[in-house]
Amino acid sequence: MKKALIVVLAGMLAFGAGLGTMAWFSDEVVSENNQFTAGTLELSKENVEFNLGEIIGNMAPGDVSEEATIEILNDGSLDLAWFGKFVVEGDEELLDVIYIDSMKMEFLDEDGEYWEPTDHFIKDGRGHGEYPRAYNNMADASGINVVTLNQWLGNGAMVPQVDYENMGALKPGNSYRLSFVLGFHESACNDYQNKQLDIAYKVNATQVREGALEVLFDDGDVSIHYGWFMDQIDKQ
């Protein structure tokens, strides 16, 4: 059974001005382990947590997981820019033998129609599609010729300014869908028995404004991507 999580980015995606200051409203949502839920993130309120589910459970070397899907939906009234990344907890040794067997992106409008072609960019553990080089470089560096989680996490291929792996922009009503399958590499030995790894997906979002992008993260300025975000909005 395909597992899915919908992260809804909604509500107070706006900016406020008063008393001579301007505040960009932004927030984050984090999926965590054990079970799936869905809900609404209002970007001016406290963080909301979403459960993604335990992806690695009772797996043996050579096994692959079920496909999991994360959908980021702009349910608000303004254009938004978002950044996403995986967060893992548990036995970190597994990061060297758990790999991304398949990963693809889909881009949907409010009617469910595609506004950008589907990008199946990792297949059979390696780069696939129009731009495979960065993913093949990760696979080659892993030591087992596939894109391991250790190589993927914070890879900087798309957002080198901060340790996020994905980013995008959405008009109101539109959504981004990330689907992936994880594998437990066949080379894993008995040392990995009874190990556990929980995986979460974290999303930060803000307005498609240069000022908002400049202050979204404490450890990096992502406003350099403003032009790319605007190009994405124009496609929709």
Residue with the larger pLDDT of the pair 38 and 196: 196
* pLDDT tens digits for range 8-53: 544 333 222 222 233 344 445 555 443 222 223 333 333 333 334 4
Q: What is the CA radius of gyration of the chain?
A: 18
Q: Which of 72, 135, 137, 73 is nearest to 103 (CA)?
A: 135
Q: Predicted confidence band at 118 (pLDDT cuts at 50, 70, 90)?
A: very high
| 170 close to 176: Cβ distance less than 8 angstroms | yes
pTM (global) more than 0.85: no
Q: What are the boundaries of each domain within the chain?
A: 3-235
